[in-house]
Amino acid sequence: MSKNLTKRSEDYSKWYNDLVVQADLAENSGVRGCMVIKPYGYAIWEKMQAALDKMFKETGHENAYFPLFIPKSYLSKEASHVEGFAKECAVVTHYRLKNAEDGSGIIVDPDAKLEEELIVRPTSETIIWDTYRRWIQSYRDLPILINQWANVVRWEMRTRLFLRTAEFLWQEGHTAHATEKEAIAEAEQMMHIYADFAENHMAMPVVKGVKTETERFAGALETYCIEALMQDGKALQAGTSHFLGQNFAKAFDVKFATKEGTQEYVWASSWGVSTRLMGALVMTHSDDNGLVLPPKLAPIQVVIVPIYKGEDQLDAIAERVAPLLKELRQKGISVKFDDRDSYKPGFKFAEYELKGVPIRLAIGQRDMENNTFEVARRDTFAKETVNADAVIEKIEFLLEDIQNNIYKKALDYRTNHITEVNSYDEFKKVLENKGGFISAHWDGSKETEEQIKNDTKATIRCIPLDAKQEEGVCIVTGKPSSKRVLFAKAY
Amino acid sequence: MSKNLTKRSEDYSKWYNDLVVQADLAENSGVRGCMVIKPYGYAIWEKMQAALDKMFKETGHENAYFPLFIPKSYLSKEASHVEGFAKECAVVTHYRLKNAEDGSGIIVDPDAKLEEELIVRPTSETIIWDTYRRWIQSYRDLPILINQWANVVRWEMRTRLFLRTAEFLWQEGHTAHATEKEAIAEAEQMMHIYADFAENHMAMPVVKGVKTETERFAGALETYCIEALMQDGKALQAGTSHFLGQNFAKAFDVKFATKEGTQEYVWASSWGVSTRLMGALVMTHSDDNGLVLPPKLAPIQVVIVPIYKGEDQLDAIAERVAPLLKELRQKGISVKFDDRDSYKPGFKFAEYELKGVPIRLAIGQRDMENNTFEVARRDTFAKETVNADAVIEKIEFLLEDIQNNIYKKALDYRTNHITEVNSYDEFKKVLENKGGFISAHWDGSKETEEQIKNDTKATIRCIPLDAKQEEGVCIVTGKPSSKRVLFAKAY
């Protein structure tokens, strides 16, 4: 299977696309910019959803569902918001098709034009704050802590599977609070939850920080983010959480009566992660043989491949394996016994490597005689023969060890790819030759940020929460700066 | 809370709408025909999803995700399909907004017109079969057993919360098979799964059957359905499963190589249930005091209301209740301890009645002294005092008993509302005075079916699987008929 997979060193971008398609994660559809998420890819997304949903609920959030369509006038109510989304939105203008009178086929019925155009949601702040106006009268109605799992559409011109698609799946949290402090605390909490998920489920280290004004969400006063680093040295924004101030409350006139009886505008946060995380997952761990999946998100954690000649041998192996399958499943470990007769073991081995199954067991005649399994791990390709009595313990150990090992590997890579520089020349050299995050002083101005972007394509990924406080000077203008920020080229 | 709820006997339709809104299930949004599903309503839907998803996976189905948008030309490929959906679809024609040059605000950018219009999916057969063409070459690629959880849009002119909305949530299964027999078996299997879910989770009895040609899904050769009966004597189609023959395979040119090496068109099924089930759930069990929820789908199964004066008494009650909460949660029973100080017990009682919480425990000073709880069940309003040591056992018993009792109640109602008639006069009288399903002989012709519909608004809900085989004559034409079919007015 992996024979046709482009090598990372040859063409990283092609390797990524090949892998996403060949490992059955997703493919392009007949609709421009829209992907089909295939069952194997969707199974990973379901595991992401389940883990995130649990974290959201444990922190007091509830799920709800708001309309797909947003009246044009709603989108227009918050000035910077519409500015941010108007250029790339799908617009519904009619509600009926009909047979053309000249027999040329099905056409849009010109008599079925909507009075007001509807935008397919690019994000739901506006429709949700229009709803919150009805829900919020008093401080007793606050906070509102709601999340939505939904599809959204942004009409991107250049799309890539998972990383940038016209339609994508995501969750969007939208919370309403009585105080500024609470809303900020909520936005910060969600950034920490995203980081926890990225590191402990995806095994993907992230930097937590805030965006510069230029990179902020359209309508936010502060955007918190988690930034990851891909194997090609490019950064990827993996999740954002926004403190929205009272912008949407003012745009949609959402006030509440305080305990003291005054009327005040409500404070807001919103936060989201999307199927983009699937792309981040692929690019953080995978190799030239295929996917490498963290055990916590792998749809199949263990595959057992029988090596046999004839049906009798297969039956004997199946009998030997049956209690193991049962026990693993009882422990909540997902295991597949691949007894397909139409494919040879070598083909199966390559297939499960391509699909990133963390642990592979093989059992042949010698194993039957010796009461053993051959146990192979996907991350390091290490193989060993393990006695059947010890195999469950071994699997449990490996699931944890692989999860930790791939995290450590990614962390080491990132640690080696955060480079402090003190001049613009050095900045450009590192960006060109090594990539990764570049930690540098910046004077805090939009102009300098833009100049660097125009010169080098690098952007400020974030001002890290734990940014080094030190006196320095901007690498471009020489103006004073008190902390370093992280630059990178980014997806 | 329930003071403002319209009585069923006064205005059933208004009762339903009041209840859906007052019990915090859903409300209308600012977008015509689109609803907001509120957290309490969505929590019920999540429980439905979880139960169905488990049943689908246990029968070998996997989830995937296909594009929201369907190119107009795709929809047009299957003649009867486009006929069925063209009249009520949302059409995306542009992909950008801009500021009007005359400063009048945000307008659709006329320069951003799509070459081909996109339809917001009303159902996904066309986009999915366009994809299956790429996935299917050989018999080895079959069957494909895929389900999708998604939103769909049908531009209905008259909408009602959950029952008929422009956008709704649903699942749609789309399967591909090598033989006609397998595809039919799949469609039948899914009807049985839906019936199992309706009866054993929703506690809603259903009739299984097939639709007449007139009532079939646009593009199907056979539509299997489950039909439920609401408390006002109207029927509600609760789920459908379609045998699609080779219609979509032919429209999208999906062929496979058989074992024998010939090329044949693939056989298909599709099947779906939607948030419409929420409406069915409400109308099957609820009463003039509010929702009645089956314990298996209730977001809160048990609520505990403390009756106290002052903080000391509340603290003592909270301490007494703590181990009970813990033990119930360990058993997977969802329980809420409502210690809000801002509302009186009577208010809380009414609120949980309105919201259909199956079991309510109250604990006051006398209970503290006697080591008891007052246990009330929502379905019958029966109350009793139960010793604290026996309360968990009591709760476990009640959860099962309420589930069974409301099913039985609904089944009794339905049994009493299936009426056999042998003349058109009798048919009309029963329809007018009693409602419910009417079991009658029909000559099998579209013309008679349509005449009955025009005369009485009753339609053939289904030809039941267990239809009585008997010689008879059509109630309208007097022509011979070999079995009875079920008529009703329907939602």
Residue A211: which H helix or E strand, with range?
Answer: none
Q: What percent of chain A has pLDDT over 90?
A: 95
Q: What is the rounded average pLDDT of the residues A102-121?
A: 95
- Closest chain B residue to A38 measured between Cα atoms? B64
Does B468 score more than 80 pLDDT?
no
What is the C-alpha to C-alpha distance for residues A424 and A438, in angstroms, rounded to an integer? 11
pLDDT per residue over B334-358, tens digit each?
999 999 998 999 999 999 999 999 9
Secondary structure (3-state) at A179: coil
CA-to-CA dists, residue A303 to A146, A345, A359, A374, A399, angstroms: 39, 12, 6, 12, 13
CATH placement of domain B12-89+122-285: 3.30.930.10
Domain B418-488 fold? Translation Initiation Factor IF3 (3.30.110)
Nearest to A116 by CA among B364, B108, B56, B313: B108
Lowest mean pLDDT among A42-56, A94-108, A327-341: A94-108
C-beta atoms surrounding B472 within 10 Å? 15
**A137-172 pLDDT per residue, tens:** 999 999 999 999 999 999 998 999 999 999 999 999
Percentage of residues of chain B with pLDDT beyond 90: 95
Task: Give the span between the Cα atoms of A29 and B252, in whole angstroms.
Answer: 14
* Partner-chain contact A87 B76, CB within 8 Å: no
Residues of B in contact with A89 (CB under 8 A): 95-97
The residue of chain B with its CA nearest to that of A120 is B92
Q: What's the pLDDT at A12?
A: 97
> CA-to-CA distance for B237 and A210, rounded, in angstroms?
51
Q: What is the pLDDT of residue A355?
A: 98
Number of A:B CB contacts under 8 A?
Answer: 186
pLDDT of residue B2: 47
pLDDT of res. B81: 86
Rounded Cα gap, residues A284 and A201, in angstroms: 13
Q: Which of B27, B67, B86 sits opposite A97 (nearest CB)?
A: B86
What the block records as the tokens of A478 is 């020489």
Average pLDDT across chain A, whole number = 96
Mean pLDDT of B169-189: 98
The residue that leads in pLDDT, B361 or A157, is B361
What is the C-alpha to C-alpha distance for residues A72 and A70, in angstroms, rounded to an integer? 6
Give the closest of B71, B131, B150 to A36, CB-based.
Answer: B131
- The pLDDT score that the predictor gives to residue B467 is 85
Tell me what the mean pLDDT of segment B20-30 comes to: 97
Q: Is A258 helix (H, G, I), strand (E, B) or coil?
A: coil
Amino acid found at A299: P
The tokens for A231 are 């194997």
Average pLDDT of the residues of chain B:
96
- B393-438 residue pLDDT tens: 999 999 999 999 999 999 999 999 999 999 999 999 999 999 999 9
Lowest mean pLDDT among A2-6, A18-22, A242-246, B162-166: A2-6
What percentage of chain A has pLDDT greater than the value 70? Answer: 99
pLDDT value for A270: 98
Query: Minimal CA–CA distance to A27: which of A162, A155, A152, A151?
Result: A162
Would you tell me how many other CB atoms lie within 10 Å of the CB of residue A39?
19
Instruction: Note the pLDDT of residue B469.
Output: 84
Position B183, amino acid: A
Report CA-CA distances (Å) from B37 to A64, A122, B27, B162: 6, 19, 7, 9
Taking the Cβ of residue A257 and every Cβ of chain B, the question of whether any pair is shorter than 8 Å is answered with no
What distance in Å separates the CA atoms of residue B425 and residue B431, rounded to the nearest whole number?
10
Q: Determine the pLDDT at residue A103.
A: 86
What are A97's two structure tokens? Answer: 């098709």
Which residues of B are less than 8 Å from A342 in CB distance? 140
Q: In CATH terms, are A12-89+122-285 and A418-488 the same topology?
A: no
Is A36's CB within 8 Å of B66's CB? yes
Tell me, what DSSP letter sits at residue B287?
B
CA torsion through residues B42, B43, B47, B50, sign: positive
d(CA B203, CA B402): 10
Q: Is A327 left (phi over 0), alpha (psi -120 to 50) or beta?
A: alpha
Average pLDDT over residues B159-175: 97
The pLDDT value given to residue B79: 84
Q: Domain B310-398: give its CATH superfamily.
A: Anticodon-binding domain (3.40.50.800)
Which residue on chain A is closest to B156 by alpha carbon? A95
Q: What is the pLDDT of residue B459?
A: 98
- The residue among A72, A97, A120, A175 with the most chain B CBs within 10 A of its CB, best to mutate, is A97
Distance from CA of B1 to the nearest CA of A (A): 16
- A3 band by pLDDT with thresholds 50, 70 and 90: low
Cα(B278)–Cα(B272) distance, integer angstroms: 14
Over residues B384-398, mean pLDDT: 98
Task: Please name the amino acid found at residue B455.
Answer: D
pLDDT of the residue at B3 = 60
Alpha carbons B268 and B254: distance in angstroms, whole number? 11
Instruction: Band the pLDDT of A323: cuts 50, 70, 90.
Output: very high
Give dist(CA B266, CA B177) in Å, integer. Answer: 6
CA separation (Å) from A85 to A39, A129, A375, B259? Answer: 31, 17, 51, 52
**Rounded Cα gap, residues B61 and B491, in angstroms:** 30
AA letter at B374:
E
Q: What is the C-alpha to C-alpha distance for residues B399 and B485, in angstroms, rounded to an integer?
A: 36
Least confident of B72-86, B143-157, B203-217, B261-275: B72-86
Interface predicted TM-score (ipTM) over 0.90: yes
Tell me whether strands A459-464 and B437-441 are parallel, antiparallel or unpaired.
unpaired
Q: Which residues pair with A55 in a beta bridge?
A: none
Question: Per-domain residue ranges for chain A?
Answer: 12-89+122-285, 310-398, 418-488
Q: Check if the beta carbon of residue A191 is closer than 8 Å to that of residue A225.
A: yes
Mean pLDDT of A230-248: 98
**Prediction pTM value:** 0.97
* Residues of chain B contacting residue A167, judged by C-beta atoms under 8 Å apart: 67-69
Pseudo-torsion of CA B51, A271, A82, A250, nearest 10°?
100
pLDDT score recorded for residue B104: 85
Q: What pLDDT band is residue B1 in, cutting at 50, 70 and 90?
A: very low
- Please indicate whether, in this complex, the C-beta atoms of B37 and A91 are within 8 angstroms of each other: no
Token look-up 């749609």 returns: B172
Question: Pairing between strand A335-337 and A302-306?
Answer: parallel
DSSP at A7: P
The DSSP H or E segment spanning A104 is none
CB contact under 8 A, A31 and B127: yes
- Chain B 107-166, residues with CB within 8 Å of chain A CB atoms: 108, 117-120, 127, 130-131, 134, 140, 146, 150-151, 153, 155
Q: Are B486 and B209 in contact (CB under 8 A)?
A: yes
Alpha-carbon span B221 to B269, nearest angstrom = 10
Q: Cα–Cα distance between B88 and B338 in angstroms, integer?
A: 45
